[in-house]
Amino acid sequence: MDWYGTVFEVIDMRSFSNLWFWIVLAAVWSMASHRVLGVPIDMVTRARRDGGQATLDLEELARINAERQLLLARESGLWMSALVAGVLSMALLLGFLYRVEFAQALFLLGFPLLLVRLLELRAAQRVHNGERHGEALLRLIRAHRVITQMIGMVAIFVTAVWGMYQNLVLGPFYG
């Protein structure tokens, strides 16, 4: 067997039957819901529980991260939008038109993250416009985290259903 065949036998390119894909999927959604606007969720809990300096730290971190995200969107938003649209379009076409399973997995991972990113930019704009203090900021972060978790649950469910379908239809010996 040649080197190329050995590598692809060890590293299974069938994403939906690969344990590493599911670990990455779980880790990505765990990280996406752990940091909302760049603020770790334990910091939100501490600010809600203790108030005082913890709330001031939360407000400052949220403001800094919101301003940073908006600056990046203003400076490179057009280029990043074009790049992301191109990559997701390519993954969509390769995955579902040409039936490349790796591209299907990338699309099912990337598209929901794009939705979360757009919602995060909207939340950053709200922080910039004035929802950066006290209870208003805590409500914004809580709502954004719940929406992120809902998108993640739907994305994991859809990915799992599509992955099971692919594994059942194609079987273990496809390719």
Report whether pLDDT(66) > 70: yes
The mean predicted confidence, pLDDT, of the chain is 88
Residues 107-146: pLDDT tens digits?
A: 999 999 999 999 999 999 999 998 778 888 999 999 999 9
Residues 67-85: pLDDT tens digits?
A: 999 999 999 989 999 999 9
pTM: 0.85
pLDDT confidence tier of residue 149, bands split at 50, 70 and 90: very high
Share of the chain above pLDDT 90, in %: 59
Q: Stretch 2-24: mean pLDDT, rounded?
A: 73
pLDDT confidence tier of residue 7, bands split at 50, 70 and 90: low
φ/ψ (deg, to 5) at 110: -80, -40
